[in-house]
Amino acid sequence: MSTPGNQAMLVVGFLLFMALCGFLCLLTDSDQDDSHLAQPLIRPLRPWQHGLAISGTAMSSVSLLGITGLVALTGGDGMTLLLGMVLSMVLLALVLAEPLRRAGHRTVSDALARRMPQRSVRVALALVTLLVCLCFLVLQLATVGTMTAFLIGLPGDGPKTACIVMIGVLMVSLAVTGGLRGTALIQIVKVVILLLTMGAVVAIILHRADWNPERLLGGAASRSGLGDAFLGFGVQYGPGALGIAERLGTAAGLPLAIACLPQVTMRVLAVPSPRATRSAMRWAVAQMLLISALLAVIGLGAAAVMGANALVTADPTGSSSILVLSHALDPDGFLLSAVSCAVFLAALATITDVTLAAAGAVGHDLYAQVMHGGEVSRARVMTFARWSAAVIGGLAVVLAAFASSWPLLVLSALGVALSSSALGPALVYGLLWPRFTSQGALWCLYGSTVLSLALTAVSPLISGSASAVFPDLDFHLIPLTVPAVVTLPAGFALGWLGSILPRRKAAAAAQRFEELTQAEFAGVDAD
Amino acid sequence: MTSPHHPQSWPEEPGDAAPSFAAATLPSATIRLEAEAAAFITRYRRNRRRYAGGALVGYLAFTVVASTTPELMRSRVAGHLSAALLLMAMQIVTLLWAVAGQRLQAERLDRETAGVREQLAAHRHQRQA
């Protein structure tokens, strides 16, 4: 797929994006994120820019590649995931974003600390946040490293590991030097470039189909090898009760998981006011809807132009569909270079955001609030957070180098399960349910995390199948590959049970919740 | 590296200066204002429940139907447009309705509550002082 000319173009494109991102980070200067005294070099972001940054954070490069591939190979099942991505933004816009912004200061822990000031809740939230961030960091790094090695024509494990390490170090250094506003600008650039490149691919696909959606759908269905099943549901997980359960688990877990991802909530908390949050979320929903529509057409186009066999030959998971299609549409390689650079930029932006979210959990929650009770200067917190970002990023690079040969589905399944079942109930109950107590928070945070890890460990994702992490071993006990089927309802049940058991505490929590709501309504501090 | 600190507010900051009548009000006025605020908060919650509930229930119904009746979903409605694609298009319309409706209602409530919020904030500041 790659020729020396393409490779040179790719390397130049990657370097240009790295330089652009570094420039944006230096221009914004992370020290100014918290300074009200210094005159910033660029003006504060507007609500629509925050909206683009929020939706850009929610759409990672792995989602971009993976879901497009699923649309190309399974049709309706992949499109359901795209609908889930849009729903995640709607869920944030209608349910979570405004209460979170009203309640929170810097992190989700701050938002819950109004009602539950106990250190144990902060520690639990920070630990789960770190675990989710590590899952996503390793997943993104392994994917982008593998993609880069593939694109620049370096086969084998050695070059793949070298790509992961080099890209990881560069991206983590951006996260360390760039602040929240710098990375927000990177997200905005990413969204604009993604829309332009994906728009160009879609225009070429539709031009080939004579601008007739009927023809595109017909071509995709016939060349997918699935016929009418391609335009329905049920291809990905198959028939039967297990298939139904896994489809339900994915459809319910994905939107909540994305809405509660630490990097997404971090972006929501960066919006300057609750009313601006409302405006920002409208932009986020619109942008996510647009990019999802483009990806659906690209997936259909990949099936129609290439056929399922060619896509599976290039990559059994279908994740390289968009790259294979770009090369087929423009054999000169310009389109492939543009799409690869856009995907690379998407990965870069996601990794810097996840690293920042993890550093926020360590620096602000664990170091400043838990270890020092909030009595520490911002400068020291910033320094500690920077070092934390470097350490977490370094750890993620090492883990990604080891995990690059794994089936990456295991990390995405675990990340979705943790985010939707541990962070999801804590956030939803914490912002909306008056009787939620600290015991309920601890039960759902720790309970769901342990359950998610245990179910993943005994699933066919780890052992007992050809596509497992350890294909030669077999200690799997359950056939589920989507742990969220069990962990999502379990997380909400644990949070509810932990809160209602001590009835006196639940009543006190409800009273405190009403006081805080009244104070927020008036715009004053309840304390 | 973290976001700037902003004061909590719902939905925007009330006026900086307390209204001149605030100093002369009685505790009974505070009680009345708090009752009005509680009624408005209930309306905000009802508004959120209505639109978020509509969007989520629609999506869950779609998910259950799509997961349990894959054969039905494959049936063609017109040309290559299957029942699954039609349902998905309807879902998108529902989501857009929810986002637009919630926005309109919330902005209307913001305008209605502006006066009460300002008065309540003034009373609370007075009591805290």
Rounded Cα distance, A97 and A431, in Å: 10
pLDDT at B10 > cutoff 50: no
Q: Which residues of A touch B3 (CB under 8 A)?
A: 33, 106, 180, 266, 269-270
pLDDT digits (tens, 9 = 90+) for A107-153: 888 888 888 888 999 999 999 999 999 999 999 988 888 888 877 77
CB contact under 8 Å between B52 and A94, yes or no, is yes
Q: What is the per-residue pLDDT for A82? A: 94
What pLDDT does B89 receive?
93
User: Do B82 and A231 count as a contact with CB atoms less than 8 A apart?
Assistant: yes
Nearest one of A499, A490, A478, A484 to A248, comparing CA atoms: A484
Tokens of A334: 């310009």
With both helix axes pointing from N to C terminus, report the angle between A157-177 and A334-360 in degrees, rounded to the nearest 10. Answer: 60
The angle at the Cα of A400, spanning A397 to A405, to the nearest 5 degrees, equals 150
Cβ pairs bridging A and B (under 8 Å): 196
ipTM: 0.85
Question: Does the pLDDT value for residue A44 go beyond 80?
Answer: no
% of residues, chain A, pLDDT over 90: 39
* Better-scored residue on pLDDT, A210 or B122: A210
CA dist B14 and B7 (Å) reads 11
Question: Of A152-166, A210-224, B97-111, which range is least confident?
Answer: A152-166
Task: With cut-offs at 50, 70 and 90, classify the pLDDT of residue A39.
Answer: very low
Give me A50's structure tokens.
Answer: 């925050």
* pLDDT recorded at residue A314: 85
Cα B70 from Cα B68, distance rounded (Å): 6
Alpha-helical runs (H) found in A209-273: 213-223, 240-259, 262-269
Across the interface, whether the CB atoms of A364 and B2 are under 8 A apart is answered yes
B106–A522 CB contact, under 8 Å: no
Q: B34: how many CB neighbours lie within 10 A of its CB?
A: 17
What average pLDDT is seen over chain A?
86
b/e string for B88-118 if b means 16 or more Cβ within 10 A?
A: beebbebbbebbebbbebbeebbeebeebbb
Helix runs in A331-470, H state only: 334-360, 378-403, 409-418, 424-432, 438-457
Q: Which residues of chain A lie closer than 8 angstroms to B110, CB-CB?
A: 275
Scored b (16 or more CB within 10 A) or e, A160-195 reads bbbbbbebbebbbbbbbbbbbbbbbbbbbbbbebbb
Residue B17: both structure tokens together: 């200066």
Q: Is the pLDDT assigned to residue B1 strictly greater than 50?
A: no
Query: Does residue A68 or residue A524 have the better pLDDT?
Result: A68
Mean pLDDT computed over A95-100: 90
Q: Maximum distance among all alpha carbons in chain A?
A: 71
Residues of A in contact with B10 (CB under 8 A): 102, 274, 520-523
Asked if B4 lies within 8 A of A272 by C-beta distance, the reply is yes
Question: What does the alpha-carbon distance between residue A520 and residue B121 come to, in Å, rounded to a whole number?
Answer: 10
> Which of B32-41, B50-59, B118-127 is least confident?
B118-127
Distances (CA, A) of A476 to A247, A402, A448, A472, A486: 20, 22, 20, 12, 16
Compute the average pLDDT of residues A403-426: 90
Closest by Cα among A415, A424, A405 to A483: A415
Phi, psi angles (nearest 5°) of residue A494: -65, -45
* Confidence tier at B5 by pLDDT (50, 70, 90): very low
Q: Give the closest residue to A73 by CA, choosing from A300, A251, A250, A291.
A: A300
Closest partner residue to B11 (CB to CB) among A86, A274, A382 is A274
pLDDT category of residue A168 using cuts at 50, 70 and 90:
confident
| Per-residue confidence (pLDDT) for residue A43, from 0 to 100 | 61
Q: In this predicted structure, which of A26-35, A62-71, A405-414 has the lowest mean pLDDT?
A: A26-35
Per-residue confidence (pLDDT) for residue A527, from 0 to 100? 43
Question: Does residue B124 have a pLDDT over 60?
Answer: yes
> CB-based contact (8 Å) between B71 and chain A?
yes
Highest mean pLDDT among A240-244, A246-250, A285-289, B123-127: A285-289
Nearest-CA neighbor of A108 among A280, A252, A263, A278? A263
**B6 pLDDT tier (thresholds 50, 70, 90):** very low
Q: What is the model's pLDDT at position A3? A: 63
pTM over 0.80: yes
pLDDT at position A41: 44
What does the pLDDT read at residue A512?
A: 79
A101 → chain B, closest CA residue: B8
In this structure, what token pair is assigned to residue A467?
A: 């596509």
State residue B129's pLDDT score: 67
Confidence of residue A523 (pLDDT cuts 50, 70, 90): low
> pLDDT by residue (tens digit) across A426-472?
999 999 888 899 999 999 999 999 999 999 999 998 988 888 888 88
